[in-house]
Structure 1
Amino acid sequence: MTTTASDLNYAELARQIAARMSPEALLSAEDVGAMLGYPARYIRETIALAPGLPIAIRLQLDADGKRSNPRWRRTDIEEWVTTHRKKRPTRAGRPRQQTLM
């Protein structure tokens, strides 16, 4: 199914973008995946289980105790990315051979 420009609700699209850009926004696995460049499934099955990633927030949906899909605060994910980048080790191994011209 192809979406045309006349089918788009630009006000709703703008609202959704603004809501996700808020520092306190709760991001889904799809949103976190878009930030990090990974599919949502990889976020849920691998990254979410990695040590150090902020614990997901799961809101209770009904009285039976059913909970929502995991959500993460935008600020927590951005902080995790920043600290994770700082801890990245330098490459080990033999230095590259220099060629003489």
Structure 2
Amino acid sequence: MENIYAAMLLHKAGKAIDEASVTKVLEAAGVTVDGIQIKALVASLSEVNIDEAIKAAPTLAAAAPVAAPAAGESKPVAAAEDKKKAAEDEKAKEEAALEGLGALFG
């Protein structure tokens, strides 16, 4: 994941995404560098228009907080159901985001 973050940082800065640049970013962040992973990432991104991939990726919206019940109201069952639904919604959003990241690799 750190490799992708390094590539995204380089892209945002308008720098070339090559093995040397990604390695420098990771080393500056104190991350262990795996040359094979970096080589694979650079090769995968060479044919991808990152700006288009970002535009096509679904956005992650913050989950709406569950409102606390009014004073005197007691609905532990409803609150538990709301939390479960919120967790399911969050998981669905994460899965959609991961599918969007898959587009980066082909």
TM-score range, shorter chain: under 0.3
More contact order relative to length (CA 8 Å, sep ≥ 6): 2
**Normalization by structure 1: what TM-score?**
0.24
